[in-house]
């Protein structure tokens, strides 16, 4: 199964929408793009395999495998990227601002249930992160070399 994450980059955070084909699963919040700097940047666009993971801090959540230059990139609950994330992705029900959303726990539980059921059925789950050129242009106004 392939999930798409379409991003919009802003100075205060990265907002996105997760879909399967044309069905919207949830919105997402992340840190702004800071050239993949650990703990300060969202991760690069690309294709990532998702897997189940458990930690004492987040309980059962979702991990992205083989993120370039990064480790322990997760999908977990958060409503404010700047205060609660260090490079991870948080599903939210509604976007409120740049890197800010609402009802993350609700969105995360629905997403986790769907992804876990597919993984438990023996199928691989892929997350493709991308942005459309028009949506990415909003960042170019603030930082010319954002794709470095």
Residue 145 lies in a domain: no
Residue 148 lies in a domain: no
Q: Which residue range(s) make up the domain with 60?
A: 2-140
pLDDT tens digits, the chain, 148 residues: what are they?
999 999 999 999 999 999 999 899 999 999 999 999 999 999 999 999 999 999 998 899 999 999 999 999 999 999 999 999 999 999 999 999 999 999 999 999 999 999 999 999 999 999 999 987 666 555 555 555 444 4
Say what the pLDDT of residue 27 is: 98
Strand pairing class (90-92; 59-64): unpaired
Give 29's strand partners.
Answer: 15, 90
Say what the pLDDT of residue 57 is: 87
Residue 147 lies in a domain: no
Say what the pLDDT of residue 22 is: 87
Which token pair is 40? 């300060």
pTM: 0.90
Residue 73 lies in a domain: yes
Q: Which residues contact 89 (CB under 8 A, 6 or more apart)?
A: 5, 16, 28, 29, 30, 42, 43, 64, 73, 74, 75
Q: How many domains does the chain have?
A: 1
- Assign residue 72 the CATH number of its domain: 2.40.440
Residue 7 lies in a domain: yes
Which token pair is 10? 């802003």
**Residue 70 in 3-state DSSP?**
coil
Say what the pLDDT of residue 66 is: 97
Say what the pLDDT of residue 141 is: 53
Tokens 């930082």 found at: 143
């Amino acid at each position: 199964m392939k999930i798409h994450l379409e991003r919009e980059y802003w100075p205060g955070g990265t907002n996105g929408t997760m879909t399967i084909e044309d069905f919207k699963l949830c919105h997402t919040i992340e840190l702004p793009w800071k050239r993949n700097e650990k703990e300060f940047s969202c991760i690069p666009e690309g294709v990532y395999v998702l897997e189940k993971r458990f930690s004492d801090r987040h309980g059962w959540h979702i991990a992205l495998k083989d993120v370039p230059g990064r480790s322990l990139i997760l999908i977990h609950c958060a409503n404010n990227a700047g205060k609660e994330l260090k490079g991870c992705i948080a599903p939210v029900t509604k976007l409120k601002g740049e890197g800010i959303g609402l009802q993350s726990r609700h969105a995360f539980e629905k997403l986790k249930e769907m992804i876990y059921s597919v993984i438990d059925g023996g199928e691989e789950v892929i997350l493709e992160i991308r942005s459309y050129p028009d949506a990415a242009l909003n960042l170019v106004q603030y930082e010319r070399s954002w794709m470095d």
